[in-house]
Amino acid sequence: MGAPRLIAAKDLRLRIRDRSAIILGLIAPLALAFIFNLVFGGAFEPGGIDLSYGLVDEDHSDASVALGEVLGDVESQGILSLETFQEAGAAEAALDSNLIDAFFLVPSGFERQIHTGGEPVIEVVGDVDEQTSTQIASSIADQFATGVETANLAVATTGALAGGGASPELIASMGGDPSTAAFSYQLVEDAVPTRQLDGTTYFAAAMAVFFLFFTVQFGVLGLLEEERDGTLPRLLAAPLGRSAVVGGKALLSFALGMISMTVLIVATQVLMGAQWGAPLGVALLVVTGVLSAVGIMGLVAAGAKTAEGAGNLGSIIAVILGMLGGVFFPIGGSGDLLSKLTYLTPHAWFMRGLGDLSNGGQWTAALPAAGAMLLFAAITGVAAWLLLRRRLLA
Amino acid sequence: MKVIAIAGANLRRMLRERSNIFFVFIFPIAVILLIGVQFGGGIDPVVGLLAPEPDGLAVSVADAVRGVEAIDTRDFESEDALVTAVERGEVQAGVLIPSDIGEVAARGQIVEIGWVVRPDGLGIQLQSVVGSAIAEVMKPVGAAQFASEETGRDFETALGQATALAPAMSDISVETRTVGEALFPPSMGQFDLGAPQQLVLFTFLTALAGSAALILSRQLGISQRMLSTPTSTSTIIGGESAGRFAVAFLQGIYIMGLTWVIFRVNWGDPLGAMLILLLFSAVGAGAGMLMGAVLENEQQAAGIGVVVSLGLAALGGAMLPLELFSPTMKTVAHATPHAWALDGFAELVRHDGTTLDILPELGVLAVYATILLVLAAWRLRLALTRPA
């Protein structure tokens, strides 16, 4: 057991002196996580939409006042803010200067049109760059319009069934209020916890796992470098098994990955306020994540002809897996092919595991993701081990 | 002539390496494709849907939700799967339609439809959109419940009556229009926003990656051997710079050409676009040369190159459009050459600008290129002539 440790310790000293492992393993992920958080931080936080609307009532009728009441109700729930304007010009000016996102306009004659079977219209005028807010305003107006239509239909249906049509007498004799007909359904809210990382933690974790695959390369690639530099035969001439040599390099890879991840987790937590979740769960994810990176990069080293070739192929694979795993931007979601492909990467499992831990998740929430990464590690690791050992024979 | 020979040797060396072929030619196109597919169509929020088949009303409600224009829907098989997808953010919200809502409605009771949301999500916004679609379907149901209550007739009869009457009733229409000038006109193609961003990101990345080759040349003594021939340091520096520049420019032309042919990306005025690329490649070459002259270790150069090029790309608006930056961040962004190049492309593509309109951007890029190349030449001269 001593030999692999000795080999790993010697290489670790070399790598630290060389500084390139420090750049790729610590400085690069930290710097990029910081920059990405700075640039995307605001855009990433969800729920940031403030709805501010205007209302212009040119009709001054029961129906138009009802719209104002409906909007007032929504406002009192804290969902939007509403400002009343006397005329359309003032509302348009407010729209121009970005004081409101959109405004509702009830043209004069609105109620008369409803009762005479005309073509009543509610106008929604929105800022061209506030598409979402405008869309929501339009939906609210739609819902109000449907409510009025439902009440009218309720009266008409009652009249038809009673045989007399929708006469004023009928309306007067009704026991109920027809506007309640609009409340034949309700959306029952089921608020569920978020199992998603906040922006800062997302970038910290994404960059950490992305550069992890470059960092662990320094270990397994060392084998190919010793081969190139001619020190490998000398190492093999020593009274060591081949397993000790391969094991030493794998151990170094694992150590580099663990050091880099640990430092990054502490640093991003202290410097940027990243929230990684239950320590035991995070530790599980980190260990299995590093193992899967060692396995995959070991396999790359085993398959390459030269150290340079392995380095290049490793970079390509690390970049493709990272991109597909959603470390630069979230992948999938629409249930298409991509959202299935993404789980062919340890990156996606790592991020998903951290997401499951977020918002006070128990450490056990990380188990499925850790299991998936362990599977990656086992398959690629065993293949790499066998191939590398065989390579040493040649 | 020697300058061209040195540049040519650099170019050949780059192209012989198979991994370079991937990063220079295949990867950028793949990224443009991926981003275009993910975000190009505008990002419609996705709403998950659990809808049982047999119940007529449930099917109508589900169809109404599917028909909402502003959202995409995704069907789920079980409530658990839907709730988990909402928690993970795979879908923004979920609609749970109970299988017996037809019977509930017939009994005159309020139909309850489950609405699954996260506290931080788009729930409130989506609720109004989805709610208005459901309200439309529930119109005859509500009217029938009311009429049945009032007249004592059974629900089915009332529903038949309400459904028959509905088309004749006057509809209140909601007319929505937007005013102002759009930041991103709807005429923009799926790939039009992303392609210039990826162009500046990757040409700069490639140019910086070129620093590793320069370091290797110095380490292996190739540069020193060149100096021992009747070749001046100026020629060597010129050749090395031209090599970096050629690689970046070639990649840029390739990305522009291919995206124009395959994805129909609009690059605007060809002369203007070419000039931006030309000057931006020169900026990249200068930065790559400077790194190659200052750093001593090619692995370090590779790491620093990735950080610098991705970092500047993010800051300069090559990942998130500059238009979405805060005013402060926009000022910071314009410390990077990327932001100026992207401003130039935006002027050409979105405002149908010509070369004259982008003169300020071209001027700034030219200043960047000059400063970086002069600095790099000075440092490289020192590095080459300094006794080892």
Amino acid at A157: T
- The pLDDT value given to residue A47: 43
Residues of B in contact with A24 (CB under 8 A): 299, 303
Report the amino acid identity of residue A17. Answer: R
**Environment class of residue B86 by beta-carbon count within 10 Å: exposed (0-12), middle (13-18) or buried (19+)?**
buried
Average pLDDT, integer, range B353-362: 91
DSSP one-letter code for A1? -
* Residues in chain A within 8 Å Cβ distance of B34: 323, 338
Beta carbons of A128 and B179 less than 8 Å apart: yes
Task: Specify which residues A103 forms β-bridges with.
Answer: A54, A125
Residues of chain A with Cβ-Cβ distance to B41 below 8 Å are: none
Report percent pLDDT > 90 for chain B.
32
Query: What is the pLDDT, as a whole number, of residue A334?
Result: 54
- The token pair at B370 is 């000059």
Residue B124 predicted with pLDDT over 60? yes
* Model confidence, pTM: 0.81
- The three-class DSSP label of residue B116 is strand
For the ranges A155-169, A254-268, B48-62, B69-83, the maximum mean pLDDT occurs at A254-268
Task: State how far the Cα of A132 lies from the Cα of A96, in Å rounded to an integer.
Answer: 17
Quote the minimal CA–CA distance from B111 to chain A in Å.
4
| CB-CB neighbors (< 8 A) of B91 in chain A | 333
Q: Which residue has the tokens 């094991």?
A: A247
Give B355 to chain A, closest Cα distance, Å.
28
Per-residue pLDDT of chain A (394 residues; tens, 9 = 90+): 578 888 888 888 888 887 888 888 899 999 999 988 888 775 544 444 578 899 999 999 988 898 999 899 888 877 788 999 999 999 999 988 888 989 999 999 998 888 887 889 999 999 887 777 888 888 889 989 999 999 989 999 998 888 777 677 777 778 888 888 888 888 888 888 777 788 889 999 999 999 999 999 988 888 888 888 888 888 888 887 888 888 888 999 999 999 999 999 999 999 998 999 899 999 999 999 999 999 999 999 988 888 878 888 888 899 899 988 988 877 765 556 777 888 999 999 999 999 999 878 889 999 999 999 999 999 999 999 999 888 887 6
B129: burial class by Cβ within 10 Å (0-12, 13-18, 19+)? buried
Region B163-182: what's the mean pLDDT? 83
pLDDT of residue B186: 59
Residues 275-304 of A with CB under 8 A from B: none
DSSP B263: S
A315 part of contact set with chain B, CB < 8 Å: yes
Residues of B whose CB is below 8 A from A103: none
Q: Which residues of B touch A79 (CB under 8 A)?
A: 124
CB-CB contact of A68 with A105 (8 Å): no
A window 109-148, beta carbon within 8 A of B: 113-114, 117-129, 131-132, 134-143, 145-148
Q: Which residues of B touch A335 (CB under 8 A)?
A: 46, 74, 90
Q: Dihedrals φ, ψ of B115, to 5°?
A: -130, 105
| Contact flag A146-B132 (C-beta cutoff 8 Å) | yes
- Candidates B34, B129, B314; nearest CB to A135: B129
Q: Flag whether pLDDT at B287 surpasses 90.
A: yes
Number of other residues whose CB lies within 10 A of the CB of residue B103: 13
Burial class, B347, CB count within 10 angstroms (exposed 0-12 / middle 13-18 / buried 19+): buried
Considering only the C-alpha atoms of chain A, give the largest distance between any 2 of them, rounded to a whole number of Å: 109
Q: With an 8 Å Cβ cutoff, are A161 and B161 in contact?
A: yes
Compare all CA atoms of chain A with the CA of B174 and give the residue at the minimum distance.
Answer: A122
Interface test with A, best of B20, B84, B118, B146 (most A CBs within 10 A): B146
ipTM over 0.85: no
Q: How far apart are CA B81 and CA B207, in angstroms?
A: 46
Among residues A342, A369, A364, A228, the alpha carbon closest in space to that of A287 is found at: A369
- Asked whether the beta carbons of residue A143 and residue B162 sit closer than 8 angstroms, the reply is no
DSSP E strand boundaries for A160-215: 185-191
pLDDT for res A122: 94
Most A-contacting residue of B29, B35, B128 (CB-CB within 10 A), to test interface: B128
Task: Find the mean pLDDT for residues B160-168.
Answer: 88
- So what's the pLDDT on residue A263? 95
